[in-house]
A and B are shown apart, each in its own frame.
Chain A
Amino acid sequence: MSLEQNDIDQLVKNYREDFTPDVEQGLRALHGRLTPVRRLRPRNNGRLYAIAAAVLLLLTAGYFVFADRGLTELRNDTGQLATYELPDGSSVVLQSGSVLHYSASDFNTAERRLTLDGQGFFEVAPDADRPFTVSSAVGSVRVTGTAFNLRARSSELEVEVSEGTVLLQHAGREMQVKAREAALAVDGGSMEREEAPNLNHHAWRTGELRFDHTPFEQVLVYLNDNWGIVCTWKDDTTCSFPVTSSYHTSDARSVLEDIAELNGVKVRSTGTDGKHFELTGTCSK
């Protein structure tokens, strides 16, 4: 028995008719897209302006070889972002104040090992035979080819992955972290993973912050992790509210002031470094 063309035409009308996406979920996603992006003017004073110049400089400054230990040191003291090429073809953007070390003689032989103190964004050249491992005092991150942001402080190590998958190693345990996920290892053994759809830990470099019903406490954490902004509440009276908006800026102070103003929170600068603030809230919206 053979099909006529008409029969086929009838049958194929069913092609992909079983694909039924969730309309309300789609609508929420649409509303997320329509949230106006606030573009803040960078202020002309304050040290944050240095970061606001999102010009990536390819630097040879900050590059030292310590012959005695055979370690190459990449140190960014420029007050701006600095991009470095590594011998294996990978690249790293270092935040000012961050230092990266690797062995001048062994790097990229059997493996690719580095140590980081500070914050960097790594784009790793794929090479399945030579694992790429970045270590800190707390733990390490191991990959073969991917892109991720790594924040290494004395007591915590946080990775947020923009492409591929990485392996976070800490206190004898391992955790797989996929694209658009973040994981935090804290000295003492804890290791937690969460969704990171907006890659807000990359903001110090990309200038993109996106909040979607993000609790204000979490917004403050992002400002701290990216730019070292420290906020304290006056008289221990804290306010919590969801924040939904997008920013394209590197001026963290303006982001803080903008969100605070919209939600009736007062911001007062304390100290002279432009990074410490006291918040006063009535929490009436």
Chain B
Amino acid sequence: MPPTSTDTDTELFASLRDGAPGALDELFRRYYVDLCRVSVRFVADGAAAEDIVQETFTRLWTKRLSLPPDTQSVGAYLRRAVRNRSLNYLRDRKRIPVDDGELPELAADLEQQPGARLESAETRQRINHAIDRLPERCRLVFVMSKLEHMSHREIADALDISVKTVENQMTRAYKFLREWLGVLVLLFCQYICLN
């Protein structure tokens, strides 16, 4: 039976193991955008992120016979694959940070904040910008912890640093973001309350 859009992820995954190309397409359509977002948070490059996700699906297809049977959590499986591939991408390009880096000066940035009311798209831009301004090690640790929900142990292993360093970087990230995003909070209250 050809895969349909009403199949569950687990059914699609089983069809994929049986070699149904339609199952690959359906999974791709369901997860592509989310997985690209996972990757771009690591590699900070949209084209590279798309490349990584497409490559993940290519591997999914070529390795379909050795996929785990009865996968209940397909989303988590794909997400983990994309995460690992993104980290390998950074590692291959020597982009895994080797030191803690410096936090940027706040004063200069704050002056650029307009007093006007912020649109939500603009607010997102500002959140992107704030996190992007973190030193790279700090940024990666924060993304892995807060957006990828990885444990401190997992993060430490992935970046080849100690758990203590992970904790320090989290403290640093919060301190910076608290100040940087603080100016948004009044404007943002409405947004949060609506969501």
Known: A11-B181, A13-B147, A29-B54. A18 touches B128 (CB 8 A): yes
Structural contact, A3 and B181, CB atoms closer than 8 A: yes
B58 and A30: CB pair below 8 A? yes
Please determine whether A21 and B28 come into contact, CB atoms closer than 8 angstroms. Answer: no
- CB distance B54 to A30 under 8 Å? yes
User: A9: CB under 8 A from chain B?
Assistant: yes
Would you call B33 and A20 a contact (CB within 8 A)?
yes
The answer on a CB contact under 8 Å between B28 and A8 is no
Do the beta carbons of A15 and B131 come within 8 Å of each other? yes
CB of A5 closer than 8 Å to a CB of B: yes
Q: Judging by beta carbons under 8 Å apart, are B46 and A27 in contact? A: no
| Residues on A with beta carbons closer than 8 Å to the beta carbon of B185 | 1, 3, 7
Q: Does A17 contact B (CB under 8 A)?
A: yes
A110 at the interface (CB under 8 A from B): no
Q: Which residues from chain A contact B121 at a C-beta distance below 8 Å?
A: 18
Task: Please measure, in the bound complex, the distance between the C-alpha atom of A33 and the C-alpha atom of B54, giving whole angstroms.
Answer: 8
A21 touches B147 (CB 8 A): no
* Chain A residues near B127 (CB-CB < 8 A): 11-12, 14-15
B32 contacts partner chain A, Cβ-Cβ < 8 Å: yes
Total residues of chain A contacting the partner, CB 8 A: 26
Given the complex, which residues of A lie within 8 Å of B57, measured CB to CB?
A: 30
**Beta-carbon contact of A27 and B25 below 8 Å:** yes
Closest residue to A9 on the B side, CB-wise? B146
A16/B128 in contact, CB under 8 A: yes
B181 proximity list for chain A (CB < 8 A)? 3, 8, 11
In the complex, which residues of chain B have a beta carbon less than 8 angstroms from the beta carbon of A23?
28-29, 32-33
Query: Chain A residues near B55 (CB, 8 Å)?
Result: 33
Bound: A167/B69 CA distance, A: 55
Contact across chains for B50 and A12 when beta carbons are under 8 A apart: no
Chain B residues lying within 8 Å of A7, measured Cβ to Cβ, are 185, 192
Q: Is B58 touching A34 in the complex (CB atoms < 8 A)?
A: yes
Nearest CB of B to A234, in Å: 38
Q: Is A109 an interface residue (CB 8 A)?
A: no
Complex: chain A residue closest to B25, CB-CB: A27
Chain B residue nearest to A23 in the complex (CB): B32
Contact A27 B28 (CB under 8 A): yes
With contacts A14-B124, A29-B54, A33-B58 taken as known, whether A19 is within 8 angstroms of B37 at the C-beta atoms is yes
Min Cβ gap B173→A in Å is: 9
B-facing mask of A199-218, CB < 8 A → 1, else 0?
A: 00000000000000000000
Question: Can you list 8 contacts pairing A with B, beta carbon distance less than 8 Å?
Answer: A11-B181, A11-B188, A11-B192, A14-B123, A14-B124, A18-B128, A21-B33, A27-B32
